[in-house]
């Protein structure tokens, strides 16, 4: 029995791979994939789908997946992006084969293959301007026209291309194109440019090169050099596949990779254009690429999403060839499921209201042991301090209670989570009429017991005002108010930015046991939602980011 016999296909890509394996079309019998991001921005949730597919596919078939940076456009690339992308892949739980690779590793070989194309009469140096090239290219209903420079001799093309490499021309003076068919219905086959002059410093090769290969030219050949068997990309590259195959067929490459396309991830209430995400960063609508409102992997990580939740989400949405829009609620559901099972519980009061327990002695303190997780005894117990001075949520008290009110009100009793039942006896207000303090009494007989003769009006969370930790709580919501902020091309997508996407609460308090909580630690704040410790925290101030509410309240808030 082969190692693939027990592997069941889970999507059409895997069905193709299993067919290729069965037909012995996989060179060397080993599946090789690659993840080839351009380092011109941070990765977003759409890239996570591609990462999971490429690395997951390689793992499923005991193959390997390479991480290769498509660094053919140095003006928009940086080492910052390279480092961030590599960290994102690692954080998601994947390991690439060998060292990080770069398309620039193959610049010399790509140059030699360009010479090969020229020598075989399949490439020429074109001196048309960019504007003239567009005019000569035609359109979807009209064929293009051959450039007047298309029939330059091999010798002249070789000389001109060498002069391009030596920096003797300025940007835009000329470019290297391949001869295919200017009347081809597929516009990508109308003598595409494969080298342009770019006098820019490169983050890997420095100033060695002033000509850079196009993505379409470099990508397939880099795949071939790495022995990639299945080049998996999104559907927008489907029309580029004939060009991918043309290069493979017309160059002496060491392998014959095949390209396959799948539908990209489109998520509502967000955008996944790196150009537009960079605009949000540059114009300071957000505080950086890792702002927790951003759909970047680093932003999701900072917000409190876990690697498992993102991997599970990508598995939930599946791999198809049909474009569609995935609801943000599905991503939020994935992280809720993961954190519900794995996040320890704690109590945090975000908008404190002072409660004085009049019949509890001044200076006295009592400790309660509560489960760290109600469904997982292995997490153990946590200790919570109870005293005379407590804090509850402002919204858990109403002086004039509405119908079916299940929290605290004058004369009513509630149970403090894990502690005693208290009754509100007096309401204290400031000169402006604002409620600043509640005078309550506790029932000492209700420690672990139901009260006799009356019924508490619900259960609320609380902290000890004297033995709790001050913290800042950042309440994040969706970045846009419209499900598709790019739908109307006549309206700037920034017009749909959600002004309520961030609320910062600076006077919050969390139970004492979280005093030394570390960055990226996850908690369920009881009754409030799931939260993560932000990197802005220090020894003097804890900062918590709300990852997601306990339930999907967005549709209700929007009145939908």
List residues with catalytic annotation.
Answer: 38, 264, 274
Q: Which residues contact 488 (CB under 8 A, 6 or more apart)?
A: none
Instruction: In whole angstroms, give the CA distance from residue 38 to residue 116.
Output: 27
Q: Which residues contact 550 (CB under 8 A, 6 or more apart)?
A: 336, 524, 527, 528, 529, 530
Instruction: In whole angstroms, give the CA distance from residue 118 to residue 276.
Output: 38
Other C-beta atoms closer than 10 Å to the C-beta of 291 total: 21
Nearest to 127 by CA among 158, 162, 160: 160
Instruction: Write out the DSSP string of 448-513.
Output: SSPPSSS----EE--EESSSEEEEEEEEE--SBSSS-TTS-TTS-GGGGB-TTSEEEEEEEEEEGG
Nearest to 250 by CA among 120, 72, 110, 108: 120
Instruction: Write out the DSSP string of 131-158.
Output: HHHHHHH--SSS-----TTTT--HHHHH
Nearest to 354 by CA among 466, 477, 268: 466
Nearest to 53 by CA among 87, 82, 25, 17: 17
Nearest to 531 by CA among 539, 541, 520, 540: 520
CA–CA distance from 55 to each of 13, 204, 257 (Å)? 13, 25, 17
Question: Is the CA virtual torsion 264, 265, 268, 271 positive or negative?
Answer: negative
């Amino acid at each position: 029995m082969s190692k693939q016999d027990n592997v069941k296909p889970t999507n059409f890509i895997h069905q193709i791979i299993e067919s290729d394996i069965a037909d012995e079309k996989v060179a060397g019998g080993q599946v090789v994939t690659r993840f080839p991001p351009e380092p011109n921005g941070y990765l977003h949730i759409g890239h996570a789908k591609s990462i999971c597919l490429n690395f997951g596919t390689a793992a499923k078939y005991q193959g390997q997946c390479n991480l290769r940076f498509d660094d053919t456009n140095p003006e928009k690339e940086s080492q910052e992006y390279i480092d961030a992308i590599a960290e994102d892949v690692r954080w998601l739980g994947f390991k690439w084969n060998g060292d990080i690779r770069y398309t620039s590793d193959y610049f010399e070989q790509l140059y030699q293959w360009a010479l090969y194309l020229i020598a075989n009469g399949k490439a020429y140096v074109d001196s048309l301007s960019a504007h003239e090239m567009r005019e000569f290219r035609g359109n979807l209903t009209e064929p293009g026209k051959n450039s007047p420079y298309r029939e330059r001799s091999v010798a002249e093309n070789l000389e001109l291309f060498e002069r391009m490499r030596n920096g003797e021309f300025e940007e835009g003076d000329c470019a290297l194109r391949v001869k295919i068919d200017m009347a081809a219905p597929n516009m990508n086959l109308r003598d595409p440019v494969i080298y342009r002059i770019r006098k820019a410093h490169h983050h890997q090769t420095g100033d060695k090169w002033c000509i850079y290969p196009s993505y379409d030219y470099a990508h397939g050949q880099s795949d071939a050099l790495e022995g990639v068997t299945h080049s998996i990309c999104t559907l927008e590259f489907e029309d580029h596949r004939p060009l991918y195959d043309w290069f493979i067929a017309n160059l002496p490459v060491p392998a014959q990779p095949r390209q396959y396309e799948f539908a990209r991830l489109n998520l509502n209430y967000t955008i996944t254009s790196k150009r537009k995400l960079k605009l949000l960063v540059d114009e300071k609508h957000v505080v950086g690429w890792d702002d927790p409102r951003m759909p970047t992997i680093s932003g999701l990580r900072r917000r409190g999403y876990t690697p498992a939740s993102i991997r599970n989400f990508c598995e939930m949405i599946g791999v198809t060839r049909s474009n569609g829009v995935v609801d943000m609620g599905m991503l939020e559901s994935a992280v809720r499921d993961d954190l519900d099972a794995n996040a320890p519980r704690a109590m945090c009061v975000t908008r404190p209201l002072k409660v004085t327990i009049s019949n509890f002695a001044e200076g006295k303190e009592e400790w309660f042991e509560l489960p760290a997780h109600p469904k997982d005894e292995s997490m153990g117990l946590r200790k919570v301090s109870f005293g005379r001075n407590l804090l509850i949520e402002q919204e858990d008290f109403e002086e004039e209670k509405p119908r079916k009110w299940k929290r605290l009100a004058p004369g009513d009793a509630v149970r403090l989570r894990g502690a005693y039942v208290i009754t509100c006896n007096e309401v204290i207000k400031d000169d402006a009429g604002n409620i600043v303090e509640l005078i309550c009494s506790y029932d000492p007989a209700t420690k672990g017991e139901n009260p006799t003769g009356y019924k508490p009006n619900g259960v609320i969370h609380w902290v000890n005002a004297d033995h709790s930790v001050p913290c800042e709580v950042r309440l994040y919501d969706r970045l846009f108010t419209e499900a598709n902020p790019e739908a109307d091309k006549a309206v700037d997508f920034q017009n749909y930015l959600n002004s309520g996407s961030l609320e910062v609460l600076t006077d919050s308090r969390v139970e004492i046991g979280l005093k030394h909580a570390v960055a990226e630690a996850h908690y369920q704040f009881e009754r409030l939602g799931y939260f993560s410790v932000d990197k802005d925290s220090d020894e003097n101030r804890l900062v918590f980011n709300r990852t997601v509410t306990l339930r999907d309240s967005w549709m209700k808030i929007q009145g939908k």
